[in-house]
Amino acid sequence: MSGRVAIVGTGNVGVAAAYALFQQRVARELLLVDRDRERAEGEAMDLAHGQALVGSCPVRAADWADLAGCDVVVLAAGVGQQPGEDRLSLLQRNAEVLAGIAAELDHHAPEAVVIVASNPVDLLTRILQRLSRRPAERILGTGTMLDTSRFRALLGYHYGINPRSVHAYILGEHGDSEVPLWSDATIGGQNLRGATINGRPWDPEALHGLFTEVRDAAYAIIQRKGYTNTAIGLVIAYLTRVILDDQKSVVPVSAAVDGEFGLSDLCLSLPRVVGAGGVEGSVLPEPDEDERAALTASGETLAGHLAGLDLDGLRA
């Protein structure tokens, strides 16, 4: 692959993603697109000046036509989440932004895999799939990759274990109805339920509090600094590398469901096989009865919001 990556939207998330892609040398060329051309130019100049320290990676502001030949396009455009605001309330405003972007991407970068990072990510991913002419598997959202990273980090702190040795997922909506998969959470191959690991016994009350901290992390961060950006920037860089290197990695991205857990015609996060073609398969978990019900309810929450959206009006 060419390694050409475009980021649409140079707000807090777009810039964090650009920095992570640049610093980790994931992309061979970075294109920054923003309706505020001068801002995109300034961000590109600032980042490009670090090449002597990191290595060669051309970075420049771009127009839609420049996206021809891009392997990956990251959508970080849209209205940001405000203190006290849930992700779903962003839907109508960001759906309107997305409608205009979809036509430009289909025209100028029809072969690219598109990563949606704007919130509410599950709904916007599904909306883009409906508005775009490219195959649905080539449009995926960052989904619960960030929630899963938060989950593993806090579990690592709790057990005194490197988070990279923790294997646990948050699935479903990237939002208030997300689901921790305790039945499948392991450290060193040992399920957490009922086990004592590194001297710490299974403590359902403490671990439920840990999950609550994960679920509400965005609210806590936004209350303190006004936005979240650095960790999602790392998620975007990680996911972009998975695609560019055709890794076939299993990651909890937001993608279309087709009957899983009784759901269809929506996007939510399940463990997906991701490579150069986008979403190339699934490795479905075997949740317990309560988790299965929670995943179905999470999907139904998203479906309810999609049902009230006028996509024909957006296309117009």
Residue 2: pLDDT band with limits 50, 70, 90: confident
Between residues 62 and 307, which one has the greater pLDDT?
A: 62
Q: For the segment 102-147, what is each residue's pLDDT rounded down to a tens digit?
A: 999 999 999 999 999 998 899 999 999 999 999 999 999 999 999 9
Is 198 assigned to a binding site?
no
Is 122 assigned to a binding site?
yes
Domains 4-141 and 144-308 fall in the same CATH topology: no
Distance separating alpha carbons of residues 4 and 206, to the nearest angstrom: 45
Bond preceding residue 120 cis, omega within 30 of 0: yes
Q: Which of 107, 174, 208, 305 is catalytic?
A: 174
Residue 250: what pLDDT?
A: 98
Percent above pLDDT 70 for the chain? 95
Is 78 assigned to a binding site?
yes
* Chain mean position to CA 33: 19
Tell me if residue 158 is catalytic.
Answer: no
Out of 3.40.50.300, 3.90.110.10, 1.10.287.130, 3.30.450.20, the CATH code matching 144-308 is 3.90.110.10
Is 97 assigned to a binding site?
no
Residue 84: what pLDDT?
A: 73
Compute φ and ψ for 74, nearest 5 degrees.
-100, 125
Is 120 assigned to a binding site?
yes
Residue 80: what pLDDT?
A: 64
Q: For the segment 207-241, what is each residue's pLDDT rounded down to a tens digit?
A: 999 999 999 999 999 999 999 999 999 999 999 99
Q: Which residues pair with 196 in a beta bridge?
A: 201
Is 315 assigned to a binding site?
no
For range 48-63, the mean pLDDT? 96
Is 304 assigned to a binding site?
no
Contact 275, 248 (CB under 8 A): yes
Is 278 assigned to a binding site?
no
Residue 90: what pLDDT?
A: 67
Burial tier of 142 (Cβ tally within 10 Å: 0-12, 13-18, 19+) = buried
Report the alpha-carbon angle 8-6-122, nearest 5: 55
Residue 259: what pLDDT?
A: 92
For the chain, the domains span 4-141, 144-308
Residue 309: what pLDDT?
A: 73
Is 11 assigned to a binding site?
yes
DSSP 103-160: HHHHHH-TTSEEEE-SSSHHHHHHHHHHH-SS-GGGEEE-TTHHHHHHHHHHHHHHHT
Mean pLDDT score across all residues of the chain = 93
**Topology (CATH level 3) of domain 4-141:** Rossmann fold (3.40.50)
